[in-house]
């Protein structure tokens, strides 16, 4: 079976317990066992389906234990990663308090599909980033098409 892609953006709210409803269009591709962590830029939460997280773990497993920088990265990433998550009957998941605090998430959030994983952004932070991206879109598109040419 081909990997289902995540796309689109959806406004949602965290409840008082730190739970959020996963958008219906993301649920099937996310599956029943996923990892909640921080994204590579430390700007949003990242949610990886099991298969994608397993690929991340494989990459981390190649870091030499004597590589101080590599181990520093692995140590941090693993300390903010929460595996074995699943949705409840209403499609809700608990966003770990540690991640909510690190990212300053407020009640209002935005889910963003990034092809192979999902990000959760604070609504205000996402709106600022989105506006900047829209202003610079032509240059960003040129960069992407030059850096990652068609195969």
Q: What top-level class would CATH report for the domain 9-121? A: alpha beta
140 — pLDDT class (breaks 50, 70, 90): very high
pLDDT tens for 38-75 read 999 999 999 999 999 999 999 999 999 999 999 999 99
Q: CB of 100 within 8 A of CB of 14?
A: yes
β-strands 82-85, 34-38 pairing: antiparallel
In the prediction, which pLDDT does 1 show?
42
Residue extents of the structural domains in the chain: 9-121
What is the three-class DSSP state of 10? strand
* Angle at alpha carbon of residue 113, lines to 89 and 49, rounded to 5°: 55
In the prediction, which pLDDT does 150 show?
85
In the prediction, which pLDDT does 98 show?
95
């Amino acid at each position: 079976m081909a990997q289902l892609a995540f796309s689109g953006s959806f406004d949602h709210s965290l409840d008082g317990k730190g739970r959020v409803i996963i958008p219906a269009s993301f649920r099937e591709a996310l599956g029943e066992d996923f990892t909640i962590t921080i994204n590579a830029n430390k700007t949003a939460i990242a949610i990886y389906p099991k298969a994608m997280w397993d690929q991340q773990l494989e990459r981390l497993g190649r870091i030499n234990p004597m590589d101080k920088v590599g181990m520093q990265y692995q140590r941090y990433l693993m300390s903010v990663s929460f595996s074995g998550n699943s949705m409840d009957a209403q499609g809700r998941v608990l966003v770990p308090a540690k991640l909510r605090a690190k990212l300053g998430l407020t009640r209002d959030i935005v889910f963003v599909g990034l092809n192979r994983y999902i990000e959760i952004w604070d609504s205000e932070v996402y709106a600022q980033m989105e506006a900047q991206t829209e202003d610079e879109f032509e240059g960003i598109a040129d960069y992407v098409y030059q850096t990652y040419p068609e195969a």
